[in-house]
Amino acid sequence: GLGKAAELAKDDLTNGEVERVRALRDRLWNGLQAGLDELYLNGSWEHRLPNNLNVSFAYVEGEAMMMGIKQIACSSGSACTSASLEPSYVLRALGVDVELAHTSIRFGLGRFNTEAEVDWAVQYIVEKASFLREMSPLYEMVKEGIDIKVGKFPFMGNARAKANFQGDGFLKILADKETDRILGCHIIGPAAGDLIHEVCVAMEFGAAAEDLARTCHAHPTFSEAVKEAAMACGDGAIHA
């Protein structure tokens, strides 16, 4: 029971297991750093559990990353905030900005993990993250030096999506920070093929995010997520 678990935990402090797991954690972090840019460690490197690694993959949404690396058991947040639309309040308290907090993934290592598994995980994660960034207009524009702002709305905040049990995913609108002109859209979730056309038409006519935000959308429909994301580019979405 609990007493035996405490005994094993005490033994791990002296038998070298803690150092072994810490070395695996360090190996994972070093491997990810070698394969990816725009990678950020969340929390103190010195003052953290030896098996814990919380990383923000800039310009890769945490939800998309989770879908991409399904063969690895990891998390984009804590169990106690799994129903929340907001990024981790712990990361926010640590000073991590909202965008980076939304891209965070938490990895945990244990006594049964090996170096070979860590090396495989590094290669797998780097491959998936690189693929997602190649599809991200945000990453491309940042690399080109374009100053942008982002409006993001999770489908969990959309009434139709919740009623249909399709709350996974999000809709993100990218706009020029100075002119507000819409530059792109990123959708992961239900009805993406139906929703993208509205943003494409707006881009064709040089519309601003405010134009979409001021457009009436039927309720309750998936299309309201477009309006909410556009509003998030400005003063903020209503239901997020």
What positions carry a catalytic annotation?
Answer: 80
Angle between helical axes of 17-35 and 2-12 (0-180°, round to 10): 70
How many C-beta atoms lie closer than 10 Å to residue 102's C-beta?
A: 24
Greatest CA separation found in the chain?
Answer: 68
d(CA 142, CA 10): 48
- Output the six-digit token pair for 56: 């923000």
> What are the phi and psi torsion angles at 79 (to 5°)?
-65, -35
What is the full DSSP assignment across 96-123? Answer: --HHHHHTEEEEE--TT--HHHHHHHHH
CA 178 to chain centre: 25
